[in-house]
Amino acid sequence: MKHPASPTPTPNAPMPTLSVVIPCYNEVKTVKELVDLVLEVELVTEIIIVDDGSTDGTLDVLKEIEETGDEKIRIYYHEQNQGKGAALVTGFQHTTCEVIVIQDADFEYDPNEYPLLLEPIREGRATVVYGSRFLGGTRKAMNFLNMVANKGLTLITNILYNAILSDMETCYKCFRREVVEDMTIHARGFEFEPEFTAKILKKGIRIVEVPISYYGREYHEGKKIKWTDAPIAAWTLLKFRFTD
């Protein structure tokens, strides 16, 4: 198999099949409408939802989604909350398409922008594409401390891994499935983002970034990641620079 770090340009290639992996924890107010938005994107082949031990009524909503019988949707359940990383690992294991994109179960990121993420992969110019919130797309102002943490972690990433990323912590990570087939992911929580990025860059894969829009939630609206997660992410970046 061709090493994923060396894609071959194929500008007239057909659009690859797409798996959307949605980690879900206590998103009773948003998950149904979010899934409906994803279903409206014609290029989506399958939707893999992983509920991570929700306790707020999300399970009832997911059961309603299952009862629709839509063949594109498959839902898996963790009995206890394990963290976003654990939910993503479960999701990756059940994908069948050529390309995977990660989608949070809220409205911070717009599924209509999947074509922007897929195009560099379709053209053979990239194996991994990140949707950057800092390249000029429409953006709702985020909390100042969160912005500082994002910028700082991205800078650490660039220094440690000789990269030029603008948004390491973005949810929108799109990649060929072969990238994760042989990857062991230890992260169970939000440290998934730095671990995944570190392992991609250590493989010699250059990440392509495209501008996306971003509509960040406030904490009273259900936002879960906090600026206090930044030290854990920084340690994760440093650790995986020297270990696997």
pLDDT per residue as tens digits for the range 131-150: 999 998 676 666 777 788 88
Q: Is 150 inside a domain boundary?
A: yes
182 is a domain residue: yes
Name, in order, each residue with C-beta under 8 angstroms of 226's C-beta and a sequence gap of 6 or more. Answer: 146, 219
> Total structural domains in the chain?
1
Phi-psi region of 14 (alpha: psi -120 to 50; beta: other; left: phi over 0): beta
> Would residue 119 count as lying in a domain?
yes
Q: Is residue 1 part of a domain?
A: no
Is residue 40 included in any domain, yes or no?
A: yes
Q: What is the mean pLDDT of the chain?
A: 91
Identity at 64, one-letter amino acid code: E
Percent of the chain exceeding pLDDT 70 equals 90
Structural domain harbouring 158:
18-242
Q: pLDDT for 89-117, tens place per residue?
A: 999 999 999 999 999 999 999 999 999 99
Q: Domain holding 119: CATH number? A: 3.90.550.10
Q: What is the mean pLDDT of residues 207-211?
A: 98
* Span of 156-160, 226-230, 231-235 with lowest mean pLDDT: 226-230
Structure confidence at residue 2 as a pLDDT band (50, 70, 90): very low
Q: β-strands 18-24, 208-211: how paired?
A: unpaired
Whether residue 184 lies inside any domain: the answer is yes
Specify if 189 maps to a domain.
Answer: yes
pLDDT band at 1 (very low <50, low <70, confident <90, very high): very low
Residue 8 lies in a domain: no
20-34, 72-86, 179-193, 206-220: segment of lowest average pLDDT:
206-220
